[in-house]
Structure 1
Amino acid sequence: MSLHPQAIPPVPEETVQIARAILPNGNTCIHMRDALGTFFQDEDFLDLFPAKGQPAESPWRLALVMVMQYAEGLTDRQAADAVKTRIDWKYALSLEIKDPGFDFSMLSEFRARLLAHQAERRLFDLMLSQFRERGWVKARGKQRTDSTHVLAAIRAVNRLESVGETMRHVLNILAEVAPDWLLERVQPEWEKRYRSRFSDFRLPKEEKSRQELAEQIGADGRMLLESIWGSTTHAWLQELPAVEILRRIWIQQYHACEQGTPWRKDQELPPAALLIQSPYDMEARYSKKKQTGWVGYKVHFTGCDADQPHFVLEVTTTASTLPDGEVMEDLHERLADNRLLPSQHLVDKGYVDAELLATSQHRHQIDLVGPVLPDTSWASKEAGRFDHSHFHIDWKAKQVLCPAGQTSRDWGHIPDRHGKPRLRIRFPLPLCRVCTLHEKCSSTAAKVLILRPDEATYVALQQARKRQETAEFRALYAARAGIEGTVAQSVRTCEIRRSRYIGMKKLNLQAFLTATSINMLRACHWIAEAKLATTPTSRFAELLASVKQVAVA
């Protein structure tokens, strides 16, 4: 389909009259169109369409439909029906009352164009740029970031179901692309074993029987892989994604032995960050946070904290197993590219470590505000012992002076259990043994200090620990809770908790559409109310508050 940009038409007079007569004041779609316009124009999407071909549906309309669709949590079919039947949507889209709308598949095609051209964030950036022109979005203010878990668009399965579904999936694909080749190699028992979906309530309950079934499935998959790699006439089968999925899952779930296909024990599996959970979404991973376990991803929302609308300024989609702190450097770089860096960034404990405290301040002049882990060393657990503050560290000379006046012997770097560098400083063993302060200094024969690898990181951590004990920090950090409202709106209104599509790239598009819809709703509320939305108060709380006011009076 080709695109020939056209000017956005005004709302038809008949549509205006009916909408004003029937719809209540403050309707979101009408209010949005009157106060904020359409946000998008055909020229914004020229690069997504070829110059020749059948004329495409106006992309500005499709883009606006998707924003309104996510703002109401609608499916593609429901959104297309809303275009056909709802007067407020016709008003926002400049359509005649009798306009038949378009087929729901147009929305999927438009999303595919955005993905193909790596334009997942285009709608988000276009809307944000208009808010910047209005003065609602500014750099060097306060920002807040938090994440929410997202369930993948797949059925959660156990290990036995996963390998069974993997085998069934590849057989279905081969039956479609190479039926004759498959019929020559199919085993008689495969028809019963793989004809229907694997579900745990139909599988054996005894552990021995389950392991036997798992190893039988493993043997079937191995035989199929050997047949594919041994075929000279159908070597192209090796390139099928389903075959590659089968090969990777079999490597993870089974041992490679000459005799048989032994089922791996649970402790022999790869870590969660690498373990494939389903053949239908290779990127979804299992993760657990506190009491919540899920298979899917995480989405991080970064919003502003100001007297203007609390817009979402950035969105980050990651694997569910990636620690929150790993997103911060890339997040700050993207904010810098968009000229939206904050002066203070409020985050929870998961986003903060000593290295980030130092690098955020050094590279971008950002005050990263969040609780850090306390000192858990041997010396900090009992009063009267010597902790790091009792040692004089000369970073330039690479020496440390202990409370007894002795100088350190070794200064070197070692990795910690996560592979990150740490500084190890040791004192001479003969001097520590005879030292009168030894019992207050160390629980081992010789004192060993494990510190952050450089001065800037070490100083940043110590300053953060002192700062978080103050009343000023607690008052400042209390504002971080405001991002929970953004997360709640993304879950309850835009339904971000469950991925609509398969794969991280498509989920990233969903996350940006969700953020765009939230920003649109908040802009409409701001224009209508000229104030920030407040946290809802229950009637019971209001009753108690009124009683207190009467008592004080």
Structure 2
Amino acid sequence: MLQVGADGYRLLDALAGAGSPPLAAAAPAVAVLRRVWARHFAREREGSPPAGTSVRLRPVQGRRPGDRIESPYGVEARFRAKSGTAWTGYMVHLTETCDPNLPRLVVHTGTTPANVHEAMRTGAIHAGLAGLDLIPSEHLVDAAYVSAEHLVAARERYGVILVGPARPRQGWQTREEGAFHVTDIAVGWEHQRVRCPKSRESTSWRAYRDKASGRPFIRGGVSPAVCRACSAKPRCTRAGSRRLSLHPRAEHEALAGARERLESDEGRRLYGQRQGIEATISQGVRRFGLRRARYRGLAKTTLQSVATAAALNLDRLAAWFALRPLAPTRTSRFKALTA
């Protein structure tokens, strides 16, 4: 492997030399080779003659995560593992209507390399729908597309109410009965105070930015001396004192509102309409080959996704005009036995 690495660098040096063919160093295949070698190999002595250059493998933690070229023939395809499924290629995001007593039609498709997380596409989907004058008043999405920032941005930029399950709360309090949750702590935004369920107010309040993401947060905490003397401390925190990391006010209130909506009967009925997209994905995969890219490259795969969505719409319109009923939800054999 080290010999292959040294040979690759020797080839790159020769292509960049004065005697190489014109424009050879700028060829697409050379650019791919340079990117792959920069990810997997490193020279021990930079600037040394090619013949005397030694090569070592880069440690895994020193490589950029998730952005490796998987094949020189499909340089835009990326690897992804999700819910027990692993593949190399792309990811398709579908948006369809779900109005009652009307055919469900796909109104937007978005195709990205597989390693692009769904959370990165929420704003792009709304921008695409707005450009088509198809922006909805309510958008039912999977949990991967929901965050505090998305809830605020969708409402402020496009007037869209983003409906979907927020990320679950973390911490041992969520798993222990009788423990105090974050929702049990009152936040006084005007006075910059938090109040615990035992009416103890915080003694600290400061804004900060997360070093990794750069997103703003607020940290408020109660004095350790106050917490230690509290009889309810075992139900509240296992640390010296309870310290909370809060989103800014707009994001905090939007997240609380989204969770409250889905906990209501009306919210659950509304969100229940989103399950139709699973049938759309199944139909696209089983009847129109949605899960297999027919061509190489992101541009051609995007075109395939658009063509698949058009075929889905034509099939559904034909079924609508022919009064063909929707197929019933499949019942597993195990469920049929227990019925």
TM-score range, shorter chain: 0.7 to 0.9
Q: Does 1:215 align with 2:16?
A: no
CA contact (8 A) 2:262 2:271 kept: no
The aligned runs of 1:92-111 (5 Å cut-off) are none
Question: For residues 441-473 of structure 1, what are the alpha-carbon distances to aligned partners after superposition, in whole Å with 9 as ceiling and x for unaligned?
Answer: 332223211112x11211122232233333333
Correspondence for 1:135: none
Letter in structure 2 aligned against 1:239: A
Structure 1 length-normalised TM: 0.55
Deviation of 1:383 (Å): 3.5
Question: For residues 158-214 of structure 1, what are the alpha-carbon distances to aligned partners after superposition, in whole Å with 9 as ceiling and x for unaligned?
Answer: xxxxxxxxxxxxxxxxxxxxxxxxxxxxxxxxxxxxxxxxxxxxxxxxxxxxxxxx2
Deviation of 1:357 (Å): 2.3
Deviation of 1:492 (Å): 2.1
* Matched-pair identity in %: 33
CA distance in 1, matches of 2:20, 2:184: 75
Q: 1:393 to 1:433 in 2, by over 3 A?
A: same
Deviation of 1:527 (Å): 2.0
Correspondence for 2:302: 508
Deviation of 1:333 (Å): 1.6
Q: Does 1:426 align with 2:221?
A: yes
The aligned runs of 1:279-428 (5 Å cut-off) are 279-306=72-99, 307-402=101-196, 403-415=198-210, 418-428=213-223
Structure 2 length-normalised TM: 0.87
Question: For residues 30-57 of structure 1, what are the alpha-carbon distances to aligned partners after superposition, in whole Å with 9 as ceiling and x for unaligned?
Answer: xxxxxxxxxxxxxxxxxxxxxxxxxxxx
Q: 1:373 to 1:456 in 2, by over 3 A?
A: same
Q: 1:405 to 1:386 in 2, by over 3 A?
A: same
Correspondence for 1:523: 317
Which residue among 3, 8, 28 is the counterpart of 1:241?
28
The aligned runs of 1:41-120 (5 Å cut-off) are none
Q: Does 1:496 align with 2:290?
A: yes
CA distance in 2, matches of 1:219, 1:317: 37
Q: Kindly tell me the number of residue pairs found equivalent between the two proteins.
A: 328
Q: Unpaired segments of 5 or more residues in structure 2?
A: 46-52
CA distance in 1, matches of 2:189, 2:259: 20
The aligned runs of 1:481-492 (5 Å cut-off) are 481-492=275-286
CA distance in 2, matches of 1:472, 1:233: 70
CA distance in 2, matches of 1:260, 1:425: 53
CA contact (8 A) 1:281 1:503 kept: yes
Deviation of 1:314 (Å): 0.4
Correspondence for 1:21: none
Deviation of 1:235 (Å): 4.8
Q: 1:518 to 1:260 in 2, by over 3 A?
A: same
Question: For residues 330-377 of structure 1, what are the alpha-carbon distances to aligned partners after superposition, in whole Å with 9 as ceiling and x for unaligned?
Answer: 111221221212222222221222222233233333232222223223
Deviation of 1:388 (Å): 2.5
Q: Does 1:450 align with 2:237?
A: no
Question: For residues 237-278 of structure 1, what are the alpha-carbon distances to aligned partners after superposition, in whole Å with 9 as ceiling and x for unaligned?
Answer: 111111111111000111222342223344443201x11111
CA contact (8 A) 1:309 1:522 kept: yes
Q: Does 1:276 align with 2:69?
A: yes
Q: 1:426 to 1:464 in 2, by over 3 A?
A: same
CA contact (8 A) 1:414 1:424 kept: no
CA distance in 2, matches of 1:422, 1:522: 46
Deviation of 1:303 (Å): 0.7
Greater radius of gyration (CA): 1
CA contact (8 A) 2:138 2:161 kept: yes
CA distance in 1, matches of 2:42, 2:20: 29
Question: For residues 108-152 of structure 1, what are the alpha-carbon distances to aligned partners after superposition, in whole Å with 9 as ceiling and x for unaligned?
Answer: xxxxxxxxxxxxxxxxxxxxxxxxxxxxxxxxxxxxxxxxxxxxx
Letter in structure 2 aligned against 1:317: T
Deviation of 1:317 (Å): 0.7
CA RMSD in angstroms, aligned pairs only: 2.7
CA contact (8 A) 2:14 2:20 kept: no
Deviation of 1:486 (Å): 1.7
CA contact (8 A) 1:349 1:370 kept: yes
Residue aligned with 1:525, SS:
helix
CA contact (8 A) 1:358 1:457 kept: yes
Residue aligned with 2:263, SS:
coil
CA distance in 2, matches of 1:405, 1:223: 68
Residue aligned with 2:239, SS:
coil
Tell me: higher relative CO, structure 1 or 2? Use CA pairs within 8 A at least 6 residues apart: 1
Q: Does 1:225 align with 2:12?
A: yes
**Between Structure 1 and Structure 2, which shows a larger proportion of strand residues?**
2
Correspondence for 1:250: 37
Letter in structure 2 aligned against 1:281: G
The aligned runs of 1:526-545 (5 Å cut-off) are 526-529=320-323, 532-535=325-328
CA contact (8 A) 1:228 1:235 kept: no
Q: 1:418 to 1:293 in 2, by over 3 A?
A: farther
**Between Structure 1 and Structure 2, which shows a larger proportion of helix residues?**
1
CA distance in 2, matches of 1:277, 1:325: 23
CA contact (8 A) 2:207 2:216 kept: no
Residue aligned with 1:350, SS:
helix
CA contact (8 A) 2:194 2:221 kept: no
